[in-house]
Structure 1
Amino acid sequence: MSEGFSLKDQLIHAGKIELLASWLSGVSPEFDGAAFQSQIMARLPDLELKARILWIAEVLEEHLPRDFPAAAKMIHKALPAELDPANTDDDFGDFIIDPFGQYVARNGLEDLETSLPLLHALTRRFSMEFAIRPFLIHQKARMQEVLLLWAGDENYHVRRLASEGCRPNLPWGERIRWDVADTIPVLDLLHTDPTRYVTRSVANHLNDIAKSDPGLVVTTLSRWRDMGRQNPKELDWMTRHACRTLVKQGNPAALELLGYRPDAQVTASNITLTPANGHVAIDSALEFSFDLTAKRDELLIVDYVIRFQRAGGKIGEKVFKLKNVTLKAGRTMHLTKSHRFKGNATTFRLYPGAHHLTVQVNGRPLAEVAFSLV
């Protein structure tokens, strides 16, 4: 990402506000597009991305009809063409549609007969995974029925919403606080989907569940394997993606499901660091290498774990992928990795001090070495 890049300015800017105003003006002569744009732009530059979307929704409330069904009808008419249904992945749509979803969430919670058809139309143009969550919180019983219905929709964006919208830990999403088992019937329908955009959501959904109920994830994936309703290669991919957190944790049942032995007969030796003194400057790289030797034929997931200094003297750790390998009995493999410690990262701050690096194989720590970040 180049210096000065602004995601919020790329996704929501004056040109997008003008586009939104043109859609609405095009279906209602009473809609004052100039005033709408002016009011939004008075605050927009000072707001972050999520706040921009919410602000636009607030301004919509002032410029759309006060009667929610009338406003919903106007939005329906104003919407641009749907995303191409012939695509199969990563066709997320235009962020300027999202304020419509937030408007619906703010004004239509008690009018599902109006809100749900509009969300169904909106998500075929931009994912409504955030807008749907207030409905899941406040209208659980009805929305459980809706998700099951939408899981069988002909449009893959609607089917994806049935999974993505009710993920337990959706990034940026409001927590719905359902029991994680409540969504399994929806995933049961969606796991056979032919579209990777949908099956990726199902796998991410299961990975969310894994953080609170690992056993449910393993039994669900095992059941799907026994059912044989999904292409085996696609289900293998889904299983790996769904179990990524469990694999990092060394969960034995997840490892066995993926064909890895939790008690792999392998040793790690000759671990070395560069710089050799183990003093690594922030914004530079630590290179490490080691040998793996197997006593029997093994499928191996090789990771490394770094224990970081955190604020207030606390310790945190992160698991990083290194390599998936097959190692024959009696063979030794030499592995090398360079890890860069980037300073001033927006998502993870580095603190100088003592750190540790651990080589982890099939979720089990095998060798550890200390170094200092300076």
Structure 2
Amino acid sequence: MTSFRLPDAPRSIQKDNPIKFLLDSEAVDCLAHNIALVHGSFDASAFRQLALTNIAPLTFMERSAHIAAALKATLPAKFSEATAILLNTLTPPNIHTERLGLSVFFYLPHTRFIADYGRDAQHNAGEDPFEVAMRAQYELTRRFTAEFSIRPFLVHDFDRTLNQLMQWLADPDPHVRRLCSEGCRPRLPWGARIPQLVLDPTPALPILEALKNDPSLYVRRSVANHVGDIAKDHPALAFSLCERWLTHADKDLQWVIRHALRHPAKQGNATAIALRKAAGGK
């Protein structure tokens, strides 16, 4: 059996090659090829035509939505059936957490499909698609990241989605644990803000507490960036959290504190500067 394909991609963003070209004809061809391997009635030609029509002027994130819409038009109408097909095309989970290159962005349309069509029962023959969508998020974050696609679920179904993230906190895969923190960052770059957590970040604090000493730097970096987001809107809360963590902080947690407070410290905030110094900073 012919294996699944991923498009060629550089290891990092190139100055003369905008990131949006990661989702171009080669990515669409690879996606069509992969789906055809597991879904014999898939109309690959129709998918390619829909996915590539008028794609040229679109931004990177717009392209992901455009390709997801082409998937919606050519896969089975029921969300759970379409999602099962997409999950059957996934390559093995990433073992490493660093230097993965840009090829993983091939899965951005997959996550966009889940985000756009996995929140409404009308796309799933009247059945609640939440559990199917969460299983898909879990598998996709192990290959790419579900930090963007989990956010609409937090916005529209906050309690249930936050509870799901809590259940993943002890998962053995660092990609999954990182999602628990990164997915609910109030101000994630490239991602939609989560108004409820911008207004009140305290519901996510148990996640940060559980992951602040995570054995993976990949996860701890997300915790630090999450606290940094909190510091932009609620500096007193972020400072209080870091001060409490300092009490029994090892070198890894001291790094988290320094990284979390680097922006307010650069802006001259005296409390941030003092906390970073107490955490081993200059």
TM-score by length of 1: 0.65
Q: Which runs of 5+ in 1 are unaligned?
A: 261-298, 302-323, 325-374
Give the drift of 1:226: 2.3
Q: State yes or no: 1:46 paired with 2:92.
A: no
Counting only pairs closer than 5 Å after superposition, residues 43-122 of structure 1 correspond to structure 2 as: 43-84=54-95, 87-91=96-100, 94-110=104-120, 111-122=129-140
What is residue 246 of structure 1 aligned with on the other side?
264
Distance in 2 (CA, whole Å) between partners of 1:69 and 1:2 is 37
Residues 1:5 and 2:14 are matched in the alignment: no
Q: Is the 1:89–1:196 contact (alpha carbons within 8 Å) kept by the matching residues of 2? A: no
Q: Say whether residues 1:198 and 2:219 are aligned partners.
A: yes
CA distance in 1, matches of 2:14, 2:142: 32
Q: 4+ residue stretches of structure 1 with deviation over 4 A?
A: none
CA–CA distance in 1 between the matches of 2:111 and 2:24?
18
Amino acid at match of 2:92: A
Higher strand share: 1
How many percent identity over aligned positions?
37
CA contact (8 A) 1:90 1:197 kept: no
Is the Cα–Cα contact under 8 Å of residues 35 and 86 in structure 2 kept in the other structure?
yes
Residue 78 of structure 1: how far off its partner (Å): 1.5
Q: Deviations over 1:26-56 (max 9, x none)?
A: 1011011122112212222221111111100
Change (3 A) 1:252 1:2: closer
Task: Provide the alpha-carbon RMSD of the alignment.
Answer: 1.9
Greater Cα radius of gyration, structure 1 or 2: 1
Tell me, yes or no, if structure 1 residue 32 matches structure 2 residue 43: yes
CA deviations over 1:244-274 (Å, ceiling 9, x no partner): 12202322222222227xxxxxxxxxxxxxx
Higher relative CO (CA 8 A, sep ≥ 6), structure 1 or 2? Answer: 2
Report the residue type matching 2:24 in the other structure: H
Aligned partner of 1:15 among 18, 23, 26: 26
Question: Contact 2:213–2:252 (CA<8 Å) still a contact in 1?
Answer: no
Unaligned runs of 5+ in 2: 1-12, 121-128
TM-score scaled by length of structure 2: 0.85
Q: Which residue in 1 is equivalent to 2:10?
A: none
Amino acid at match of 2:27: K
Cα separation, 1, equivalents of 2:202 and 2:73 = 40
Quick one: distance in 2 between partners of 1:109 and 1:162? 19
Q: CA deviation at 1:4?
A: 3.5
CA distance in 2, matches of 1:113, 1:2: 38
- Higher helix content, 1 or 2: 2
Q: What do residues 174-202 of structure 1 show as CA deviations (whole Å, max 9, x unaligned)?
A: 11112111211111011111111111111
Listed as ranges, the matches of 1:91-240 within 5 Å are 91=100, 94-110=104-120, 111-178=129-196, 179-228=200-249, 232-240=250-258
The one-letter amino acid paired with 1:30 is S
Alignment partners' CA distance in 2, 1:128 and 1:3: 26
Q: Report the Cα distance in structure 2 between the residues aligned to 1:79 and 1:31, rounded to whole angstroms.
A: 17
Provide Cα deviations, 1:61-81, integer angstroms capped at 9, x if missing partner. Answer: 101100111111111212121
Tell me the matched-pair count: 257
> What letter matches 1:67 in structure 2?
K
Contact 1:168 1:177 in 2 (8 A): yes
